[in-house]
Homo-oligomer: A and B are copies of this chain.
Amino acid sequence: MTLKNLSHFQTERAHLNDLVMDYAGLSMKRFYNLDSQVYQAGALSKKTKELLGLTASLVLRCDDCVRYHLIQCQQEKVSDQELEEALSIGLIVGGSITIPHLRRAFEAWQELTQSPAPSNSSQT
């Protein structure tokens, strides 16, 4: 029920994204590109955008997506309090059904912030 440890998560995710690209046609590849582009800094900072992606992932209750955005948030120097405030909005909007994901989010955050940052990877 808990997420795998960080390095395993990142390795597995990269391996399977490669597999998706082996099968992917043009539309799927383009979607993957868009999925990278929308988080790039623009009028909003990359940090704000990662918090948007994180909160959207929490209310939609996707552990892998939450974990991915947590890694990005840590690299953007999101503080514990900023994280907690973003997740609180997700909790209030999405309700108690998000709590199991909230638990795993803080577990991953604790791992992330008590160890060196893992190397980045490119899509959700």
Contact = CB atoms under 8 A, between A and B. Distances in A.
A72 to B, nearest CB: 12
Interface SS of chain A: helix
Contact of A99 (B35, B42, B83): B35
Contact of A91 (B42, B82, B95): B95
A117 interface: no
Given A44-B51, A53-B89, A106 B38 contact: no
Interface string A85-111: 111111111111111101110110110
Interface of A: 1-4, 9, 12-13, 16-17, 19-20, 22-28, 30-31, 34-35, 37-39, 42-44, 48-49, 51-53, 55-57, 59-65, 79-100, 102-104, 106-107, 109-110, 123-124
